[in-house]
Amino acid sequence: MSDDDAARVAVMGAVAYDIIGKTDKIFASNGPGLNCKVTTQQEFFGGCAGNVAYGLKLLDTRCSLLSLAGSEDFRRYAQHLGSSLSGVLSVRGAHCAKANIITDPNGTQFTAFSPGPEVDRATWEAHLRNQSFTALDMFVCVPFPVPLMGGALEIAKTANPNIFNLWVPGQYADSMSADDLRRALMHCDLLIGNAHEIGYIRQTAPGCLTNKSVIETDGARPVRTVLSDGNQRTLPTPRISPAVDPTGCGDAFVAGLIPQLLQALDALGSAHWERKINAIVRAGIHQAGLCLSQRGSQTYRRR
């Protein structure tokens, strides 16, 4: 049996190389100052989809990766990740995405992102339609350029009406129109985002989150969950010391909760999985804490 046959989850989003640096200068509320001196700098494997795939690998949950990569420099990443990579579309002559991330003493980050290889929407959606969604239990759509992310949830749900769609729009949320958001949320079973992203979605497309399951993170503050019946819960996030690097903690949170979510779906079905929401969220919080205690998004280990 191949990795593709064994995978229960497909993760779609970016793979990238992260160049992570620190600065002693505290960023102003509107962003970093000019001529910010970087005190340390190091390259790591990154990208939201790559980070989630790494976290799932640690948790013994097989996944297939749906992403764009540059033929010039993806080989090292592929060897490191070791997941099923048949869903990665390699663009000849291109380099992978790259993120330059600077963190100030308060943990505030500034990121300059080079998107890497690009394809048009029609090409990407044709690539998705060639994937075996019928064999999957879950499709996880993490931040990806809006034109490529736009129809992905619909394609997965059309191919497999029983698939569980988890959407993490991330930094692209506030560049989406009301129509973009409504279309995606029609096919979304669980939405995860930070306070800014969820606030933007609620304001831009009023009513679109009614009867939706939403997990809202806010850094070190408690995680807020709004269930599909409107009930709300909050779960605290324990203090992590030392808090080394916040890069990739949100992706680790997503990866951490997926195995618990799969267990809830297996035990209770798609109509009642929310009964296990506390255990699901706590698993995500635990994984995020492991990532926070290490430098880089794919260097922490399972504990």
Element (H, E) at 13: none
Q: Do 150 and 236 reside in the same domain of the chain?
A: no
Q: Is the dihedral of CA 84, 87, 90, 95 positive or negative?
A: negative
Contact (Cβ atoms closer than 8 angstroms) between residue 82 and residue 28: no
pLDDT for residue 4? 44
Same domain, 191 and 227: no
What is the distance between the alpha carbons of residues 53 and 62, in angstroms, rounded to a whole number? 8
Give me the pLDDT at residue 3, please.
Answer: 44
Share of the chain above pLDDT 90, in %: 79
Last residue of a domain, one of 207, 227, 257: 207
Least confident of 54-63, 78-87, 175-184: 78-87
Residues 259 and 274 in one domain: yes
- Does residue 132 fall inside a structural domain? no
Residue 237, in any domain of the structure: yes
* Domain stops at, among 207, 226, 255: 207
Supply the pLDDT for residue 110: 86
Report residue 83's pLDDT band, with 50, 70 and 90 as the boundaries.
Answer: low
**Number of domains, the chain:** 3
At 114, is the pLDDT very low, low, confident or very high (cuts 50, 70, 90)? confident
CATH at residue 9: 3.40.1190.20
**Whether residue 31 has pLDDT greater than 80:** no
Asked whether residue 168 is domain-assigned, the answer is yes
In a shared domain, residues 144 and 76: no
Question: Are the C-beta atoms of 287 and 217 separated by less than 8 Å?
Answer: no
Do 201 and 242 lie in one domain? The reply is: no
Q: Are 157 and 165 in contact (CB under 8 A)?
A: yes
Asked if residue 195 is part of any domain, the answer here is yes
Query: Is residue 131, in this structure, part of any structural domain at all?
Result: no
Flag whether 134 is in a domain: no
Structural contact between residues 8 and 62, judged by C-beta atoms closer than 8 angstroms: yes
Kindly state whether residues 161 and 255 are assigned to the same domain: no
State whether the Cα torsion 260-264-270-271 is positive or negative. Answer: negative
In a domain, 257, yes or no: yes
Residues 6+ apart with CB under 8 A from 4: 64, 84, 86, 132, 135
Enclosing domain of residue 269: 210-297
- Do 91 and 157 lie in one domain? The reply is no
Determine if the pTM surpasses 0.75. Answer: yes
Share of the chain above pLDDT 70, in %: 96
Q: Quick one: 202 and 219 in the same domain?
A: no
Residues 199 and 216 in one domain: no
**Per-residue pLDDT for 2 more than 50?**
no
Same domain, 225 and 156: no
Answer whether residue 101 shows pLDDT above 60. yes
Do 269 and 170 belong together in one domain?
Answer: no
Q: Which of 207, 226, 244 finishes a domain?
A: 207
Residue 124 domain-assigned (yes or no)? no
| Same structural domain, 291 and 220 | yes
Whole-number Cα distances in Å, 77 to 9, 17, 166, 232: 20, 8, 25, 40
